[in-house]
Structure 1
């Protein structure tokens, strides 16, 4: 079995500075580390129990794969909606309680990568399991 010690999601943006402004400035993700210098430097952000790395550059954004999403859990989707909207982030879909019980809001990064912001209600089975 492979022993995984750490992991991260790697994104190669078309404009690293614009993406750093989005993830660090508008979403407010904390920087775990940076490497290299100048506008092409790599930046790794904390994502709760994981990491998001922006490094390198591509000339044109890839067509988003409909099966790939960045899933970020937040404590309050309505509050995140107001904060992001006030910060100029385009909201693809405002918070909606899904049939499976999670509250989901959709946004996209500057290159069109779909991001799902998810609130797990207190009574949802992910959090609440009677008898355990």
Structure 2
């Protein structure tokens, strides 16, 4: 794909039976700024929130299970689509989530891949991981186990 046709934005659409709960979580608890968005009236509601830069992480079933084990969290039920949000301070993000009444699924844990991860029960049955990078990508790239898939032994 050429640079002119590469995506400029990633939007993850979270369909939630409790719209207010979801907006409160993402906008108020996580502090994501909201932009104006078009909707009609009544139950036709939408909120577009900025979450900084976005990446798509494609993971095998085994990798997802390994992350569950590392984070000390049970596997998510339902579709295997997860939300992971990089934060400046995982511990503070978890405290804010707890103060807002959210269930903490797994408390902060330092991972072998040098991040501080924690998992909370987000809206609509989603499990949301907060992660705080503990060293730069350049430094992590020098560690054993960090490769791109095309250079990793299969």
* TM-score normalized by the length of structure 2: 0.65
Does the CA-based 8 Å contact 1:64-1:114 persist in structure 2?
no
Name the Cα RMSD after superposition: 2.2
Q: Distance in 1 between matches of 2:47 and 2:125?
A: 19
Q: Distance in 2 between matches of 1:5 and 1:76?
A: 27
Counterpart residue number, 1:72 = 85
Aligned-residue offset at 1:38: 4.0
* Richer in helix (by share): 2
Within 5 A, what are the aligned runs for 1:12-27?
12-27=15-30
Does the CA-based 8 Å contact 2:86-2:133 persist in structure 1?
yes
Within 5 A, what are the aligned runs for 1:2-81?
2-36=5-39, 37-50=41-54, 64-66=78-80, 68-81=81-94
Query: How many residues get paired?
Result: 115
Give 5+ residue unaligned stretches, structure 2. 55-76, 142-154
Does the CA-based 8 Å contact 2:30-2:93 persist in structure 1?
no
Does the CA-based 8 Å contact 1:34-1:41 persist in structure 2?
no
* TM-score normalized by the length of structure 1: 0.74
Counterpart residue number, 2:108 = 95
Secondary structure of the residue aligned to 1:11 is coil
Following TM superposition, the consecutive aligned residue runs of length 4 or more in structure 1 with deviations greater than 3 angstroms are: 127-130
Rg bigger for which structure?
2
Aligned-residue offset at 1:24: 1.6
